[in-house]
Amino acid sequence: MPLLKKRHNRGFLFSVIVMLFIILLMQVYEISSYNRILLEKSKAKIKALENSVKITRSISNNFYYNNPAIDNRILPFSFNIDKNIFDINVELPINKNRILTYYDLINSYEIFLEKGSNYLGYIIDINVPKNADWNGNDKKIYFTIEPICTNFFIEDENKIWLEECNEDKIKKVGVKIKIPAGLGHDFNNIQCTFQEYTGCPQEDYNTQKRDLYFYLEVDSSECEKCFLSNNIIKAHIKKEQENKVVINCLGNDCTSDRIEILLNPLIIVKQKENEILVNISLESDVNIDNFYFASYEIYSKNPMLEVETKKDK
């Protein structure tokens, strides 16, 4: 009897061990299956995220303007890229219809994208500026020049400006203003306010100086009533200083509104009345790669996989 009892205990212990081993194997299998499911979900999310990024990038590419011959037809100004030099040409005041047309273009594009926004299961939400015609109150749009990280703003038809987010890239800023004939302009005075100069400076470019070099030329040769003598201004300036040039008319019978060129943050040009032609040229240490519309946001979302990407302005 003791021998049978001992064998019975051993058999019971062996059964318990086998049972525990089976339970352990089942738990390992469950954990392995769970991890496999998690892995597959993670792979699906990664793939979905990659697709989401591709979608937002594809949409964003339509806001890049790197072909002036084509893009200048739709923008409210014209531009040109020549290696490390970026030129903007604009009439001030800007033709209001050209600004309204551009608002119509970007808002129509928003509607087109959102109405057909089922890109492989992704929901697209894009936000662009809306003026009064589009039930909004936005008055400012801007574009970005890369890699010099400089933004070009149009606030309304009377004011444009550029500002940098990287102050080490631009070495020269040139402004050329042409005063057309037949518009009644009667400018006869140029007034300069420079913190380090008396009057309007006439300093040539010095490669040894690291300060920004500013160059202004006012062409009034076609203006019948304009009399401007000191029509070229040039100087090295510190960007943090408040420097300004005003082109106006002095006298009792003047009709022209003043033109203002403010040199902070980078350059601001303001003109309210009769048209003038403005060229702004930026010369950088590096070649210009891209120019694009930056006043927008894009959201791309896959609700089934809880994946969302956002591209800021």
Per-residue model confidence as pLDDT tens digits over 191-218: 999 988 888 999 999 989 989 999 999 9
Q: Per residue, what are the HEC states of 80-123?
A: EEECCEEEEEEEECCCHHHHHHHHHHHHHHHHHHHHCCCECCEE
What pLDDT score does 111 carry?
83
pTM of the model: 0.79
Averaged over 92-102, what is the pLDDT? 91
What pLDDT score does 308 carry?
46
Percent of the chain with pLDDT over 90: 43
Q: Is the pLDDT of residue 4 over 50?
A: no
Provide the pLDDT confidence category of residue 123 given band limits of 50, 70 and 90. confident
Contact by Cβ (8 Å): 239, 171: no
What are the extents of the domains in the chain? 60-299
Provide the pLDDT confidence category of residue 142 given band limits of 50, 70 and 90. very high
What element of type H or E holds 214? strand 212-219
Side chain identity at 248, as an amino acid letter?
N
Phi, psi at 151, each rounded to 5°: -105, 135
Q: What pLDDT digit, counting tens, does each position of 253-268 carry?
A: 899 989 999 998 788 8
CA dist., res. 52 & res. 58, Å (int): 10
